[in-house]
Amino acid sequence: MDTGECQPLYHEIRDFFEGMQMKIKQEIPMLLVERQALNEAVESERDGQHHMPETRGLCLSEEQTVNTIFKRPRIVAGNRFIDMRIGPTKLTRHCEVTAILVLYGLPRLLTGSILAHELMHAWLRLNGFRNLLPEVEEGICQVIAHMWLESEVMAGSSNSSSSKKSKAPRTPADKKLGEFFLHQIANDSSPIYGSGFRAGHSSMMQYGLKRTLDHIKYTGRFP
């Protein structure tokens, strides 16, 4: 619900990348924002990145001032939000990526999958992947989002003491929600996000993630 509250989850996702030998060394700010601020940031970007009709996250590469949520709202009678504190954050570009923006107020597992997707855009830019076809770039970003969600749902299914309880879905309802989000990614009918994911996932299952990424870097296509 606010930027500070989301930082531990953001660091979990960065750790997930590091666990795949894909550490992101740059410190990239992550901000939770309202719909209007996200839409304005999308309009200001000039990267040619493809966006879903209902954008929920953005890997920002331009310098901008973005209104971000510093303090979560209180919900009062009639489901009204009060006492939300919003303020401008000036984002300065230190590398290929300026910031990650995510829509506030979403469930933890959905927020995490959006963060994983947007961080993969960041990783691609920081590692010299250029001018990829939308279905290739969005497809491989969806593969990473799906992998993270899968790891969370599996962690929730494991009763072993070694599973990371702090990261596992909290309840059976969380597990069901995670399975629903996995199903959404896998069965998306969009030619860019859905077909891109299925082509990327098939390549990863056949060749592994590293070989798939190497192939994308040198050919611009999935193996």
- Under the banding of pLDDT at 50, 70 and 90, the label for residue 166 is very low
Partners of 101 in the beta sheet? 31, 58
Question: What is the pLDDT of the chain when averaged over all its residues?
Answer: 85
In one-letter notation, the amino acid at residue 158 is S
Per-residue pLDDT tens digits for 115-129:
999 999 999 999 999
In terms of residues, how long is the chain?
A: 223
pLDDT at 159: 45
Structure tokens at 56: 């929920």
- Under the banding of pLDDT at 50, 70 and 90, the label for residue 80 is low
R_g (Cα) of the chain, nearest Å: 17
Backbone angles phi, psi at 91, to 5 degrees: -105, 120
Q: What one-character-per-residue DSSP string does the chain give?
A: --HHHHHHHHHHHHHHHHHTT----S---EEEE-HHHHHHHHHH--S-----SS--EEEE-S-EEEEEEEEPPEEEGGGEEES-EEEEEEE--SSS--EEEEESS--HHHHHHHHHHHHHHHHHHHTT--S--HHHHHHHHHHHHHHHHHHHHHHHH--STTS-TTTS-SSHHHHHHHHHHHHHHHT---TTTHHHHHHHHHHHHHH-HHHHHHHHHHHSS--
- Under the banding of pLDDT at 50, 70 and 90, the label for residue 91 is low
**What pTM was computed for the model?**
0.84
Question: Lowest-pLDDT range, 12-16, 28-32, 90-94, 204-208?
Answer: 90-94
